[in-house]
Amino acid sequence: MNTIYNPIEKMVRRNVILSHRKEERFSFYYEDNTVVSSLFVILSAMFPPGEMFFIESIRNVRHQISDEQLCKDIQTFIAQEAFHSREHQSLNKHLLDSQFSEVLEIEAQTKRVLDQFRKLSKIDQLAATVVMEHFTATLARLLLTDGLIQQKTTQAKRDLWEWHALEELEHKSVAYDVLTAVGGNTPRNRSIALLRITKHLTPVLFGHWYKILKRKDIKFSLRDLNDCFYLGFGGVNRLGILTQAALGMFEVTQYDFNPRNMQTEQLEAEYRKKLFGDNGSLAQHLKT
C-alpha cells in the first residue's frame, strides 16, 4: 500500500567527524555536574544500537515503497543515522577512557532489548521506530531550545548533540511516512509500541543512571542533584526536559498524530546556519 507522500525538505546527508581529547574527562552540563553528565553518558551509549534498529526496521520494508521521493528520503535517513551512530561510538570510546565502564553494559543491554523487538512482525518493529523517533525528535527540540542547556554549557560540548538533534528534527517524519505507506500506521500499533518501549527501555535508562550515581568514586553535591532535577524534571516555574519528552509520547496514541505537527522548520533553519553556515561551529568538521 502506498499513499500520496508529502516530501521532507532540507534533509541533508552530513558526514561530520569529531574528535575527543583524551586528557579531557567527559562533561556536559554545568561542566562539573556529574549527575547530568551521567544521563548523557547513558543516552550516548544507547544511541548506536538504537539507531541500527531504526535503520533495519525501515530496510525491512523498503522494497514495498514505490514513491521515488520517499525512497530518497529513506536513503538520507539511513545515512544520517549511520553517521550519528559512528560519532556516538567515538564518544563512547572516550567515555570508556573517562572511567565510564558502564557504557559497554548499557550498549549490550539496549541491544538485548532491541533483539527481542526484532522477533516482532516488521510492522511492529517499524511502529516501535516511529515511537522512538518521536521521542528523540521531542528531546532534540527541547535540547535546542532549553535555556538552561544554552546557559550552562559551552558550544564545544554541545556540537555533537546539536548536530544530532538537528537531523533528528529533519528526519522526524520518515519512519512515520514509511509506516503509513505500508499500511501499518494505526493508533493501536503505535500505542502497543509505546507500551513495549516504556516497559523494556525505560528501566535501562533509569537503572543505569542510578547505578552510575551510586558508585563510590562518583562525587556530586546536593546542589548538583537539585540542578539536575530542575533541568530534567522541572520545578515551580518550569517543566523539565525529561518531563516534557515523556508527556509528548502520549501524542503517538492519538488518531491524528503526525510528527510534522511539531513545526520545527524555523528551528531547523536556525541550527543549519549556526552549525554549518559560513562561520558555523561544525563547518570545519564536515567532510565530503
Using an 8 Å Cβ cutoff, are 249 and 194 in contact? yes
Let me know if residue 15 belongs to a domain: no
Strands 286-287, 238-239: pairing kind: unpaired
Q: What angle do CA 64, 190, 178 make, to 5 degrees?
A: 25
Query: Structurally, how many domains does the chain consist of?
Result: 1
3-class state of residue 229 by DSSP: helix
Beta carbons within 10 angstroms of residue 124's beta carbon: 17
Helix and strand element counts for the chain (H, E): 12, 4
Beta carbons within 10 angstroms of residue 112's beta carbon: 12
Q: Which domain holds residue 166?
A: 29-281
Using an 8 Å Cβ cutoff, are 267 and 141 in contact? yes
Let me know if residue 288 belongs to a domain: no
Let me know if residue 221 belongs to a domain: yes
Tens of each residue's pLDDT in the chain, 288 residues: 444 445 455 799 999 999 998 888 888 877 789 999 999 999 999 999 999 999 999 999 999 999 999 999 999 999 999 999 999 999 999 999 988 999 999 999 999 999 999 999 999 999 999 999 999 999 999 999 999 999 999 999 999 999 999 999 999 999 999 999 999 999 999 999 999 999 999 999 999 999 999 999 999 999 999 999 999 999 988 999 999 999 999 999 999 999 999 999 999 999 999 999 999 999 999 997
Let me know if residue 16 belongs to a domain: no
